[in-house]
Amino acid sequence: MSGPTIVGDVAEMFREQFEYRELLGQMTRRDLLLRYKQTVMGFGWAVFMPLLNTAVFSVIFVRVAPMDTGMPYPLFAYCGLWTWNFFASSLRFAVTSLSSNTSLVTKVYFPREVFPFSAVLVCLVDFAVGSLVLVALMAYYGVTPTVSMLWLPVVVLVQVAFTAGVALLVAMANLFYRDVKYLFELVLTFWMFATSVVYPTSRVGGTLGSLLALNPMTPIIDGYRAVLLTGASPLTPQFAVAAVLAFVLLFLAWLVFHRTEYTFAESI
């Protein structure tokens, strides 16, 4: 018998994911249905949270400490918060996605990747709903979309890849060590302020500034602003690095996840 090879594992990963593609759809559907049934506002929450935060930060950075972001601040902030919200809430769902489905993980066989992946897909739907507000804001501030908007799918794809990679890791980590959920909440808070969400991190400068430049989420969020708001190409060197990083991370995280998943039923 030969040991596991990367090629064999990758083939198995994709084959299983293909075989169970309908399950991924059903799980995503389940979570969306549940949200719609259990909460009064349903998808409204997807819009409400970034909108509320935009209002708060607009008061701070327009009235209290005015800051130049090269565009109307509410537009800058909503675009950042909307995309950050997609990232952060995907991970919040993903981190408990395995540990809260104990009976499924211990009783039925199917690729466990379905849990973190469907968490990302559910939030992608919210993200799409949230785009309506951005469209409204763009109309209000008279921003007309340019041809560079055609880059949007690329930016979304990079963010989805990066989010899915992190989602696999945190879901797995929380299964083995339940503290991860709390620790990760803390990390997310710091991470948001280390990203160009409500202010451009390029204004930080110094050692801290160059440290913040390593954060792959900043070029991704700046990518959205470029293609949607300023009509620029997202293909900066930083974005290219972030894109490569996102796919490498997804690949490695998935491989580790796949090689560990047979121990999940015993570890949960």
Partner 1 sequence: MAAAVTLEGVWKKFRLGERHDSLRDLVPAALSRLVTRKRDDELDAAEFWALKDVSFSVAPGESLGIIGPNGAGKSTALKLLTRILRPTRGTCRIHGRVGAIIEVAAGFHPELTGRENVFLQGAIMGMKRADINSRFDEIAAFAGIEKFIDTPIKRYSSGMQARLGFAIAAHMEPDVLLVDEVLSVGDISFQARCMERMERQIRDGVTVVFVSHNLQAVASLCKRSVVLGGGELQYDGPVDGAIDAYLRASQAGSRRPDTDPRFTVEAIEFVTADGQPAHTLAPHTACVFRATVQCHADAPAAAFSFDFERTRDLFYCYGVNTEDLGAERRAFRAGERAVIEFRWVAHFARGHYRVNLNVRDSTSMKFYLFAENIANFTVVETASYGGVVDVAPQCAVTLVRS
- Footprint of partner 1 (CB under 8 A): 1, 19-20, 22-23, 25-27, 29-30, 33-34, 37-38, 103-104, 106-110, 176-180, 183, 262-263, 265-267
| Gyration radius of the chain over CA positions | 19
Q: In whole angstroms, what is the distance from residue 142 CA to residue 65 CA?
A: 24
Cβ nearer to partner 1, comparing 64 with 179? 179
Q: At what angle do helices 114-140 and 73-95 cross, to 10 degrees?
A: 170
Give yes or no for a contact between 86 and 118, defined as CB atoms under 8 angstroms apart.
no
Min CB(179)–partner 1 separation in Å: 4
Give yes or no for a contact between 194 and 212, defined as CB atoms under 8 angstroms apart.
yes
Cβ nearer to partner 1, comparing 178 with 203? 178
Cβ nearer to partner 1, comparing 64 with 108? 108
Min CB(175)–partner 1 separation in Å: 8
Give yes or no for a contact between 242 and 215, defined as CB atoms under 8 angstroms apart.
no
Min CB(96)–partner 1 separation in Å: 14
Min CB(95)–partner 1 separation in Å: 14
Half-sphere exposure of 79 (CA within 13 A, CB side): 28
Min CB(161)–partner 1 separation in Å: 24
Provide the residue count of the chain. 268
Cβ nearer to partner 1, comparing 32 with 232? 32
Cβ nearer to partner 1, comparing 39 with 202? 39
